[in-house]
Structure 1
Amino acid sequence: MNREKVMTFVKKSLKILPDKTYIKLYYRFRVGRKLNIDNPTSLNEKLQWMKFNYRFPLQSIVSDKLLVRDYVKDKIGEEYLIPLLGSWEKYDDIDFSQLPEQFVLKCNHDSGGLVVCTNKEEINYVKSKSKIEKSLKSNFFYIGREYQYKNIKPMILCEEFISDAGKIPMDYKIYCFNGVPDVTLVCKDRFSKNTHRASYLYYDQEWNFVPLNKGDDTILDPKIEKPKNFEKMLEIAKKLSEDFVFARIDLYNIKGKIYFGEITLSPNSGFDADIKYETDIMFGQKLDIPYWNDISRKI
């Protein structure tokens, strides 16, 4: 049984456990370290702390891929939103004859319900339906016990397919600590059939590659071009993250045209096993627990 199947089995087996017990056990299994949730020092640990001590309604709004559109529109303007082609409660309600040749189907409440169609004549409708309906039946809360996902009403939405010279564009994920943009994680070729082509590399604000992931020290020349209007992307990230002590703002940039992707409040649900331990600690130092204690909010 491979690691992914083991993780799925563990998550299903532990689903009935209380939140803190589940998180401590799963953290040990996924991250490989004991979780100190009472006196957290790393980013992963602090994200777990926030699950129980930092809750307010806006978190659920920005975690809903449909509702967040209004938030983005109010904050930075509608021109940064990928055009919405429709939304539905049931897969069978989708009239594919009304959709363009290229589009993206996704669920609003998770990160797995995604179907990218680059040619409507070649799409496998049976597999697409199975994938979307499976996501609709799931509650993303139980994977990482992130409160913001617990009560989101599952929906399907369809957006225009935005491409960079016919390819799926790179994803720029900007880490913002206390409303201040910091490093950018660039995700390239994520959906390539050749998984070895996929890359996840961090860059600082001067666009210098920084080896923050495990194995990055062996990369000699990452060669990812700095996006046009990068300073504008940082400005957007600052505005979209200002209501949160931590947020990762995901953007696309196609020849200078910036699109909003999503707002992620807990990257990898606070179980990020890809970053180095030193990175985890460094990120954690950028968030100040006393500052949180002054503004902790619970529902």
Structure 2
Amino acid sequence: MMRTTLRQLLGPIPDPLVRHVMYRRRFGRWGDFRRPTRFTEALTRRMLAERTQQIAWTCDKTRMKEFAARTCPQLQVPATLWRGREVDDLDVSDLPERWVIKPNHASGMVAFGDRSTTVKELRGITRGWLRTYDRAALGEWAYRWADHSLIVEPDLSRDRGRDLVDYKFYVFHGRVKMLHRSSGRFTADHGERFYSPDWRILDLYNGVTQEPVAPRPTSLAEMIAHAEALGGGFGFMRVDFYEIDGVPWFGELTPYPSGGMDPFEPEEVDLEMGRWWMDAPEGSLR
């Protein structure tokens, strides 16, 4: 039986209508996507209106890693150990002791492997991963341009991702305005906390349990410099890193954080972030 995809179900419905309904259900209000004043509205406007080559490649993991390596030569970028469409073509014996596999064209899917992992197991784990990503069906346009393939990278963590901390930088017109630290991403203890660029705690909540206050990362200044270099060509871009033994590693670019559905609270924060994006310096990109 052929699987009906989300894109097929939503095909007859225009993207603007889908997004208006999603926004209303999530935030309890109608959004203004033509003249946005909130960050969440501006993100939706990007999904509906930004159709340029400048952003088309930013959801392709391979291309964003190439961009990071080219733009910031001193930044550590995870190697691509294998890339393909059929796990039967993957020789697990050629891989290091620990590694991860993920789709090149989607977010939130990852599996950890080691020397005991078999191709048969990988067939089951990755079944369906090469289908069109549902976020592309919901208006996140750049995902439509990412190559549908699987990639294998070294596992940078010590405990199958449980101890890997993400640092996510919000870059507006080439300047980091805030960031959040995310821990326990692959566990029930997932938590986040927002900070200013000088590591002051921000009174900000976005629906995820707040983690305990954490010490300032050793490489904060380096991560900020890299984030501003990588996000500088966009009106907004979230740039994500890991810090391992005091050294920053590139994570990914995120043009549509949480599909624009994160509730930045208090409400004034959403408005302030909207001003950071919309009040563009002369000559810069919106």
TM-score relative to the length of structure 1: 0.84
2:275 aligned partner? 285
CA RMSD of aligned residues (A): 2.8
Residue identity over aligned pairs, in percent, reads 25
- The correspondence for 2:153, drawn from 155, 159, 162, is 159
CA distance in 2, matches of 1:11, 1:278: 34
Q: Distance in 2 between matches of 1:106 and 1:10?
A: 21
Q: Does 1:203 align with 2:195?
A: yes
Q: Cα distance 1:73–1:254, how it changes in 2: closer, same or farther (>3 A)?
A: same
Pair 1:62-2:52 in alignment: no
Q: Give the 5 Å matches for 1:253-272.
A: 253-272=243-262
Map 1:117-266; keep pairs closer than 5 Å.
117=113, 119-121=114-116, 123=117, 128-163=122-157, 167-192=162-187, 195=188, 197-214=189-206, 222-266=212-256
Matched position secondary structure for 1:109: coil
SS across alignment from 2:171: strand
Give 1:67 shift: 1.3
Ranges in structure 2 where 5+ consecutive residues have no aligned partner: none
Q: Report SS of the residue matched to 1:168.
A: coil
Cα offset for 1:37? 1.1
Q: Is the counterpart of residue 74 in structure 1 residue 64 in structure 2?
A: no
Partner of 1:97: 93
45-54 or 232-241: which moved more?
45-54
Q: Partners of 1:20 and 1:208 in 2: how far apart?
A: 38
Amino acid at match of 1:201: R
Give the unaligned 5+ runs of structure 1: 1-8
**Aligned residues of 1:203 and 1:209 also touching (Cα < 8 A):** yes
Check whether the contact 2:87–2:119 (CA below 8 A) recurs between aligned residues: no
Number of equivalences: 281
Distance 1:75 1:144 in 2: 30
User: Normalized against structure 2, the TM-score is what?
Assistant: 0.87
Q: 1:5 aligns to what? A: none
* 2:136–2:142 CA contact under 8 A, matched in 1: no
Cα offset, 1:77, TM superposition: 1.2
Does structure 2 retain, via aligned residues, the 8 Å contact 1:162–1:168? no
